[in-house]
Structure 1
Amino acid sequence: MLAQRPSFRFLATGAIVSIVAFAFLIFGTRSSRDAASRYILKTARLESSSQTHCAQETYPTPPNSSWEFVVERDALNHGLSDEQCQLAFPKLFVETDKSALLRQEAMITYKDLDSREVEDGMVRAIIDRGQLYIVEYAPMPVTASRARATLNSLHRALMATPDRHLLPSIEFIFTTEDFANDPTGRGPVWAYSKRDADDSVWLMPDFGYWAWPEVQIGPYHEVRRRIAAIDDGETAPDGSYVPGLRFQDKKKQLVWRGSLATNPAVRSKLLKSAQSRSWASVRVIDWADENDIRFNLLPIEDHCRYMFVAHTEGRSFSGRGKYLLNCRSVMISHPLIWREAHHAALVSSGPDANYVEVEQDFADLPRKVDFLIDNPQVAERIAENAVRTFRDRYLTPAAESCYWRHLVKQYASVLDFEPVLFATSRDGKLTPRGTPFETWLLMN
C-alpha cells in the first residue's frame, strides 16, 4: 500500500544532512537545516490509482473464513486483526476514509503539519514502529485528563496490534478541546468531533473511552458493565442473580440532565418543549453549585432506567451520547452537526431505526414521545436495535482500538514524509525529538 521505506531508522549524521539538503533543494519545506532534519521524504510518490486504492482500502473476508464478531467474546479484544475489524465494524471508518480521500491529490507535507501551532490543549506526537513518542505537550489549563486519557487509549490500541512494528510511522497533532479551530490554510489536526466543512480535521475517539472523572463517570468498560447490569441483570457478590429491568417496566419518561451554558440555543428549546409534560424528567445542572449537583445529578447508568433518553450537542459534540446509546432505551436527538466516529451507524427511520430524530427546535418532541408511549412495541424495537448496533458492536472497546489503528494507517497513506526520532543540531549532534510514552507518563 505504501511506498517502500528506508530500512534504516537512526541515520548517521552525514546521511541525515544529505537527505535534508536534497529535501530542502527540491521542496523548500524549511529554511533551517535543524527544522528540515525532523523528517524524511518518502522515497517515491504514489501514483493516483495507488492512492485511491489506499484511501479506500478494504479487507475482504479470508477464503473459507467463518469468523464473526461475538460480543461476549470479542467486545474487550483490543487486538482484532484488520480483517476482523472490517468485518465487525463496516460503518465505523467512514469519516477517516473521507479525510484520506480529500488528501489524495495534495498529500500532507511536513510544512503543512508544522503550520499548525501546538497551542494550549494540544499534543504533538510521533508513532514509530508501533511505539508512541511525545514531541510537544502544550499547557492544559482544564483538559489535562483528556490528554492523558487519549494518549493512554491510543497507546493501548498500538500495544495490542498484531505485528505492531509494521505500522506506518507518522507525526501528528491532536487537540483536547471540544473542537478544533479550522481556518483555511491551517495544518491537519486530530479532534474528538468535526463538522462537514472541517476538511483539515481528522476524527479520533473521544477521551471518555478511557474515563471521564470530571462528571463522575469512571472507566468506560466499567460504565458498560453497570449499564448492562440494569438492562440485562447481573450476579450479585453473594452469588444471587439480580434480574435486569424489562423495557416495558422502565419509567415512561424522557430524561435529560445538563447545563444550558454550553449550548443555550438548542438546550433551552428542549426545556421549553418538555415543560410541564408528565413524560418529562428534564433538569438543568449548575456545575458550580454543589447542592444543585447533589440534588440533580443522575449517574449515567441510571439514565437507562428511563424509556427515553434525550441527547443534545454542547459546544460541539456531547460526550454523553455514546453512554446513552449503550442503554436499552430510545435515544431522542435533534439533527447532529458535530460528527463522531460511530455516527455513520445511526439510523433514524425504518425497521432498522436505532434512535429518533426530532426537529432542531424540538417542536415535534411532544408528538413523537406521545406516539412512542402509545406504541410501546415500536419503542422497544428501536431500543433493541440500539443495543445490537452500538452497545454490542460499534461502541465496544474493541471497535475503539480498531478505529485508532485505521486512523493511523489512513493518515499515513496521505503523508508524504516520515518523521525521524533524532534531529541534527547545528553542532552536528543528534538530539531526541520525542519522549517514549511510558517515560512521559511517569513524568507528567
Structure 2
Amino acid sequence: MLTQRPSFRFLAIGAGVCLLLLTFFVFGTDTSRGLSSKYIIKPYPRQQYCAPPVNSSAGWEFVVERDGNNHGLSEEQCRIAFPKLYLEIDKSSSLRTDKRVSYTELNSRTVDDGMMRGIIDRGELYIVEYAPMPVTATRARATLSSLHRALTAFPDRHLLPSIEFIFTSEDFAEDTTGPSPIWAYSKRDSDTSVWLMPDFGYWAWPEVHIGPYHEVRRRIAAIDDGETAADGAHVLGLQFKEKKKQLVWRGSLATNPPVRTKLLKSVQGRSWASVRVIDWDDENDIRFNLLPIEDHCRYMFLAHTEGRSFSGRGKYLLNCRSVVISHPLQWREAHHAALVASGPDANYVEVDGDWSNLPQKIDYLIDHPDTAERIANNAVRTFRDRYLTPAAESCYWRQLIRQYSAACDFEPVLFSTDRDGKTRPRGVPYDTWLLTH
C-alpha cells in the first residue's frame, strides 16, 4: 500500500507565509510615509550594556600631556581616566530598565527648528533630517563635527552599535512629547526624556568670539603655566597670588534676570567686583565690555551663572587656575558629576541662590589665600587636566552611543523601500551633508 506524500505546493505556501510573518515581526513599517524596512527589532530578552573587564589596559594611567587630546582612547582607558564621567548617561539608562525605546516612540517626536535626526551605522554618521534655525546653526554643525570626530578617531568604530537619534541645538529640550528620547546640552532632574550630550563649545563658539576649544585651552594654560616663545625662551605663567583679587563676570541679564540681577545687586560698591553687563546687540558695548575668555583667568575669582538653561562659559572657567563661584545649579551638564563644593577636594565654591552670602565668601577667600589656591588647583587637576579634556569629550560621545543603543529595542537601517519597490537611502553621509549646509 502506498503512503501519500505531502504536497510540495502546500509546503511552499507554508514557507512563504512563515517568511512573510517573520518579515512583519523583524522589519518595521511606516505606512504613513509609504516606506518600509526602516528598522530591525532587537531580540529579547533585553541585552543590558555591560562594560568590558578592565584588563588590556592594566597598569595604564591617564597623563594629560600625552593623552589629553587623544580622541581615540579605548573603552577601558576611558573608564580608567574618567570614572565619574558617565553618571548622567547611567541615570538615563536606568529610567529605561523596564521599557526600551521603540522606533514608534522615537518617530513620534517632530524634528522642529534647530533639531537634527541622525543614524550611526558601523561607526559612520548619517543625517536623516535637519530643521535649520539661524540662531543655532553653528551649534548644530559644531555638535555634529564633534560627534564625527569621536567616531573617526576610534580605531574600532565599526564595532559600535547602530543607533537612530534626535538632538536639539537649542539651550534645552522642550519635554512636551512624553517619554520620546532626545539628546540635549543640558537637563534638569525632572527632564526624564533627555539624554545629555557634550555642548557645541567643545568645537567652537563663534557668536561670543570663542574659537576652537583646544586653542582656548592652550591660551588658558599659557596664562596660568607659561609658554615657550618663538625664540625658545620660556615665559613664566601668572602665579595664583599674583592674580587680580577680584570677582569677574561679563554677560547679559536678559537670559536669566532673577539670578543675574541678584548677582549685580550683591556686588554693588564692592572694590573686589569687576562685574559688567554686555548688550550683545550693541557693537560699541561689546567692544568696551567684552573680556576674552582666557583673560578671565587673570582674575582670582570667577562668577558662574546659569542662563536660559546651562551657561556655556562654565567649562571654560573651570579650565582656569582660579576659584569659580556659583549659585546652586539646576541644569546638569556632562561634567557636573566631578564638581565638589566642600571639603579638601573642593574644586569650586557654591553660594546661596540669591548671592546674599557672596561678600562673606569673598572676604574669607581673600583672607585665606592658601584655601583659595587649593580650590583653584583642584579645579585644574579635576577639570582642565581630566574631565574637560578633549579626550574626555570623545569618550563621553561613544559611551552615550553604547548605552543609548542598549536602551533601544530596534536598530535602524540605512535604506528604505518605496511602495513601488525602489530603495533609497534614508540618510546623507555627514561628509556630504557638511559641504551643503
TM range (shorter): over 0.9
- Alignment of 1:338 with 2:341, yes or no, is no
CA contact (8 A) 1:19 1:40 kept: no
- Counterpart selection for 1:132 from 105, 125, 128: 125
Q: Distance in 2 between matches of 1:16 and 1:419?
A: 21
The residue identity in structure 2 corresponding to 1:235 is T
With the length of structure 2 as denominator, give the TM-score of the two structures.
Answer: 0.93
- Alignment of 1:21 with 2:24, yes or no, is yes
- Counterpart selection for 1:326 from 306, 319, 329: 319
- How far is the alpha carbon of 1:62 from its aligned partner? 1.3
Residues 207-226 of structure 1: pairs in structure 2 closer than 5 A:
207-226=200-219
Q: Distance in 2 between matches of 1:257 and 1:164?
A: 41
CA RMSD of aligned residues (A): 1.8
Q: Distance in 2 between matches of 1:33 and 1:179?
A: 29
Which stretch shows the higher mean deviation, 324-333 or 59-68? 59-68
CA contact (8 A) 1:252 1:373 kept: yes
1:66 match: 59
CA contact (8 A) 1:227 1:326 kept: yes
1:34 match: 34
Q: Distance in 1 between matches of 2:72 and 2:123?
A: 13
2:44 match: 45
Tell me the secondary structure at the aligned position of residue 262 of structure 1. Answer: coil
CA contact (8 A) 1:20 1:33 kept: no
Residues 148-163 of structure 1: pairs in structure 2 closer than 5 A:
148-163=141-156
The alpha-carbon distance between structure 1 residues 70 and 197, as it changes in their structure 2 partners (threshold 3 A), is: same
Q: For residues 292-331 of structure 1, what are the alpha-carbon distances to aligned partners after superposition, in whole Å with 9 as ceiling and x for unaligned?
A: 1111000000000000000000000000000000000000
The residue identity in structure 1 corresponding to 2:423 is L
Q: For residues 134-178 of structure 1, what are the alpha-carbon distances to aligned partners after superposition, in whole Å with 9 as ceiling and x for unaligned?
A: 000112221110010000000000001121111100000000000
The residue identity in structure 1 corresponding to 2:175 is D
CA contact (8 A) 1:120 1:141 kept: no
- Counterpart selection for 1:363 from 356, 362, 369: 356
CA contact (8 A) 1:116 1:186 kept: no
- How far is the alpha carbon of 1:36 from its aligned partner? 4.4
CA contact (8 A) 1:126 1:134 kept: yes
- Alignment of 1:246 with 2:245, yes or no, is no
Residues 195-234 of structure 1: pairs in structure 2 closer than 5 A:
195-234=188-227
Tell me the secondary structure at the aligned position of residue 218 of structure 1. Answer: coil
- Counterpart selection for 1:309 from 302, 305, 325: 302
1:286 match: 279
Q: For residues 71-107 of structure 1, what are the alpha-carbon distances to aligned partners after superposition, in whole Å with 9 as ceiling and x for unaligned?
A: 0000000000000000000000000111011111100
CA contact (8 A) 2:320 2:380 kept: yes
Tell me the secondary structure at the aligned position of residue 38 of structure 1. Answer: strand
Q: Distance in 1 between matches of 2:178 and 2:432?
A: 34
Q: Distance in 1 between matches of 2:23 and 2:113?
A: 30
The residue identity in structure 1 corresponding to 2:196 is L
Q: Distance in 1 between matches of 2:257 and 2:233?
A: 46
Tell me the secondary structure at the aligned position of residue 326 of structure 1. Answer: coil
Q: For residues 244-291 of structure 1, what are the alpha-carbon distances to aligned partners after superposition, in whole Å with 9 as ceiling and x for unaligned?
A: 000000000000000000000000000000111011000000001111
Q: For residues 369-401 of structure 1, what are the alpha-carbon distances to aligned partners after superposition, in whole Å with 9 as ceiling and x for unaligned?
A: 000000000000000000000000000000000
Q: For residues 152-211 of structure 1, what are the alpha-carbon distances to aligned partners after superposition, in whole Å with 9 as ceiling and x for unaligned?
A: 000000001121111100000000000000025251100000000111100000000000
Q: Distance in 1 between matches of 2:380 and 2:337?
A: 16
Tell me the secondary structure at the aligned position of residue 247 of structure 2. Answer: strand
2:344 match: 351
1:255 match: 248
Q: Distance in 2 between matches of 1:199 and 1:242?
A: 49
Q: Distance in 2 between matches of 1:330 and 1:369?
A: 10
Q: Distance in 2 between matches of 1:147 and 1:17?
A: 41
1:5 match: none
The share of aligned pairs that are identical, in percent, is 73
1:4 match: none
CA contact (8 A) 1:93 1:403 kept: yes
Gaps of 5+ in 2: 1-16
Count of residue pairs brought into register by the alignment: 421
| Largest Rg, 1 or 2 | 2
- Alignment of 1:141 with 2:134, yes or no, is yes
The alpha-carbon distance between structure 1 residues 377 and 207, as it changes in their structure 2 partners (threshold 3 A), is: same
The alpha-carbon distance between structure 1 residues 355 and 361, as it changes in their structure 2 partners (threshold 3 A), is: same
1:384 match: 377
The alpha-carbon distance between structure 1 residues 351 and 34, as it changes in their structure 2 partners (threshold 3 A), is: same
Q: Distance in 2 between matches of 1:35 and 1:391?
A: 48
- How far is the alpha carbon of 1:45 from its aligned partner? 1.6
1:403 match: 396
CA contact (8 A) 1:180 1:191 kept: yes
- How far is the alpha carbon of 1:37 from its aligned partner? 2.1
Q: Distance in 1 between matches of 2:184 and 2:191?
A: 10
Tell me the secondary structure at the aligned position of residue 142 of structure 1. Answer: helix
Tell me the secondary structure at the aligned position of residue 37 of structure 1. Answer: strand
- How far is the alpha carbon of 1:239 from its aligned partner? 2.0
1:299 match: 292
